[in-house]
Structure 1
Amino acid sequence: MKKNFQLWFNRYKLQLLVWALYIFYEAVLIGYVSGVFGHPMTYLLHYIAAIILFYVHAEIVLPWALAIKKFIAFRLPLVLVELAVFVFVSFNFDVILVDSGIVIHEKPFRMSWVYFFSMLYRGGYFAGFSTGYYYLVTYMKEKRKTNELEKQHLNDIITQQKAEQELTKAQNAFLKAQINPHFLFNTLDFIYHSIADSSPIAADAVIVLTEMMRYAVDADKMGEYIYLGDEIDQAENLIYLNQVRQNHSLYFKLNYTEQIRNIRLIPLVLLTLIENIFKHGDLSEPNDEAVINLNLDAHYLHIDTYNLISQNTSDTGSHAGLNNIQKRLGYTYGSEVTFNYHADQTNHFHLNLSIPLGRLNVSAVLT
């Protein structure tokens, strides 16, 4: 409650100050000069009527009368109605003051033309100031809106300039990417020929690495989907390179059928799952090898992984690669995709991915 009052006061404090100064001028200074002071209740009731007229005119009547231009000529004269209401309310306030004895009136208090026109003038006086207030507030709102639009336009220009700068950077990066792969492949080819006779195993590894790098470089040219068989080939290359590095001491099995190879899938799903196993798994136990199974049933493509978790793996890992796969699969295939993974009590990691065949358009594969 206190906070709401504080907000209200901060919003209207200037208007409160203006009203306080006006009332002080009219009730105190003029009364002091003329030597005539009214009863406080008289001031209270009549200023209440004037303030209500002021804000009703500025915030209700004028916005309504000016809302539709073609109706202005018909609506504006209705302002006279609110002035008549002001005169009527003021008169009834004075009747209450006279009847209660607060104001002494020698003759019976009746509506007269003098009283009517004096109150009509006073109402028009406040309505005039209210009209000025309305146009001032409207001007300030329009100016604020214009400033906001100019600010938004400036922000749009800055955003566009940043986008153009980023586009220029991307174009430069693309040109570099076109040059760098040629340098990389030429270098790998040189290394291969240099070590082919002295170290056949290392030379084979270079050939496999070259094939994987070429696959990665050309990935953006393959389209939105690739044959799963192509990624299986690169997955086997990745497994082979890791085996070479570890002197073929890793226990890892990739199981699939030839039918699987004809499935078209978004790229880098299988490779990311294998990289996750190499990064977080323990593949050194011959009786506890890591396994990836790819299989089809009547309704789904299933990819399941199983591996012992390395003792060097932190439990607080972000699983960024797996989260990225899950988002890409959900975006491409919708909520029908099942993607679950967990670590069990025996320190093994399980992952299950299932995609409806209807979303893969593989009916021809199964016939």
Structure 2
Amino acid sequence: MFFFLKIPLFAAHLLKFYTDDMFEHTDDPNTTKNRLLKFVKKYKYHFYGWLVFLFYEIVMVGLYLNHFGHPVRYLINYLINIGLFYFHAEFTMRIGLLRRRISIIVLPLLFLVEIGSYTLLIFAAHWLLLQYTSVLGSTSVAFNYQFCISTIFRGCYFIVFSTGYYFLKNYLTERKKSDNLEKDQLKNLIQIARTEGAYLRAQINPHFLFNTLDFIYHNSRPTAPTAAEAISSLSEIMRYAVEVNPDENETLVKREVAQIENLINLHQLRADHSLSIHFYYDEDVLELSIISLLMITVVENMFKHGDLRNPKDPAKISVTLEDNELVINTSNRISQTRPSGGAHSGLNNIIKRMQYAYGNDATIKINTDNQERYTLEIRIKQKPVQYPATVRNLSGQL
């Protein structure tokens, strides 16, 4: 007796050994064999469970009755029963509970159809086996009360286990989702903590830097006014860059203009005021909005790659308002000794930021004249000013 009870456990371990060995030697995942092996590996615990169940049920019933049926009969009966198990879990329960309000009506109806179809299918399988094979021997098959009761009881037996499997599967799925959600929340908390730490460090370091620059400025001003002026301009530019709010993304044109003037002054001090630069802007543009650091990047690109020392051909920067468009123009001779590498990184960044911020409402044109002169034009459409309703009404009356 105990020998027969150990058979299913031994068979399950044997199946696990061979399947694991096969999976270690698979190469091409597109072959039919490997797809089948992947399927078996994915649902291997189902195979182990059914193997143990079938062996226990067949062996125990066979020992109890002292009789074992034909293998074909076992095969067909259990194929139908296993099919009922998965059909009930994957279709009947899923469809029946799809709408909670009417599930109390739909689920019993589906159950009756399911158990009726199962009974008819079992009868049809036994009748075919009796008519065309000798698997059932001399056993007769009759669709009577006794047959229906025993078949319905057998079907309900598998349906009960299938229902438990459905709820267990859903529980494990929801538990996995909950665990993943908790892990994501923990990662977010860690990321927020790191971000806050980085933000505090970013606040402390510039504060220390600006205090140091301010100290150097005041101490060098009496003896080295040029150096002090350069430190002041550099400090203003760096302070502006640090104080830019990345969430707001936009700033006023007048703030960019002020930093362009600081940038020009800083470069003039470095070059002993030998640079030829004409900077012009309309007063009307100062209160308009623009994405931060855009104009400064354009001008810095001109200093980096331009030849600005020819008084007969000076570099030009203009910021104007034309046909409700903010127009930024730069023009300069191309330096023959400009640094190689990274020449377009700043401009590529500008293009991406403009595309993100303005979409089709902004354009950028770049032109090089025989590799001697470089011109850039940016046009940004301005949104019409929305006046309050009372102002519009008064204007209409006037």
Distance 1:32 1:275 in 2: 92
Instruction: Summarize deviations over 1:163-212 as a string: whole Å, max 9, x none.
Output: 44345435545xx62x65354234323312124xxxxxxx2563365256
Contact 1:333/1:359 (<8 A) preserved: no
Q: Mind listing any 5+ residue stretches in structure 2 that lack a counterpart?
A: 1-29, 387-398
> Is the aligned partner of 1:188 residue 2:222?
no
Return the letter of the residue paired with 1:245.
R
CA 1:91/1:255 → structure 2, altered by over 3 Å: closer, same or farther?
A: same
SS at structure 1 position matched to 2:278? strand
Give the alignment's Cα RMSD to 1 decimal: 3.8
Percent same amino acid among aligned pairs? 32
Quote the offset at 1:40 in angstroms. 3.9
Write the distance in 2 (CA, Å) between the matches of 1:170 and 1:145. 36
**Which of residues 270, 293, 305 in structure 2 aligns to 1:280?**
305
Unaligned 5+ residue runs, structure 1?
196-202, 362-367
Describe the shift of the 1:180–1:6 C-alpha distance in structure 2 as closer, same or farther (beyond 3 A).
same
The reply to whether residue 354 of structure 1 matches residue 379 of structure 2 is yes
* Alpha-carbon offset, residue 277 of structure 1: 1.6
Structure 1 residue 55 displacement after superposition: 0.9
Matched residue, 1:98: 130
User: For 1:268 and 1:131, how far apart are their aligned partners in 2?
Assistant: 63
**In the alignment, is residue 254 of structure 1 matched against residue 254 of structure 2?**
no
**Equivalent in 149, 155, 168 of residue 136 of structure 1:** 168
Determine which structure has greater relative contact order: mean sequence separation of CA pairs < 8 Å that are 6+ residues apart, divided by chain length: 1
- Does 2:152 match 1:120? yes
Task: Pick closer, same or farther for the CA change 1:261–1:209 going to 2, 3 Å.
Answer: farther
Question: For the structure 1 residues 307 and 218, does the alpha-carbon distance in structure 2 shift closer, same or farther, using more than 3 Å as the test?
Answer: closer
TM-score by length of structure 1 reads: 0.76
**Aligned counterparts of 1:159 and 1:255: Cα–Cα separation in 2:** 44
Aligned position for 1:365: none
2:86 maps to which residue? 55
Name 2:22's counterpart in structure 1: none
Question: Which of these residues, 321, 327, 332, is aligned with residue 302 of structure 1?
Answer: 327
Q: 1:159 to 1:49 in 2, by over 3 A?
A: same
Name the SS of the counterpart of 2:143 in structure 1: coil
Q: How many residues align?
A: 349
Residue 86 (structure 1) aligns with = 118
Offset at residue 89 of structure 1 (A): 0.7
Paired amino acid for 1:147: D
CA distance 1:308–1:132, shift in 2 (3 Å): same
**Partner residue, 2:72:** 41
Q: Aligned pair in 2 of structure 1 residues 249, 88: CA closer, same or farther (>3 Å)?
A: same
Which among 10, 13, 23 is matched to residue 54 of structure 2?
23
What corresponds to 1:198 in structure 2? none
- SS of the residue corresponding to residue 43 of structure 2 reads helix
- Is 2:249 the partner of 1:226? no
Could you tell me how far apart the structure 2 residues matched to 1:360 and 1:306 are?
31
Q: Point out the more displaced range, 66-75 or 36-45.
A: 66-75
Question: What CA deviation, in whole Å up to 9, does each residue of 1:194-248 have, x standing for no partner?
Answer: 24xxxxxxx25633652563465367499954354x6556534533443443344
**Counterparts of 2:134 and 2:278 in 1: how far apart (Å)?**
102
1:152 corresponds to which residue? 184
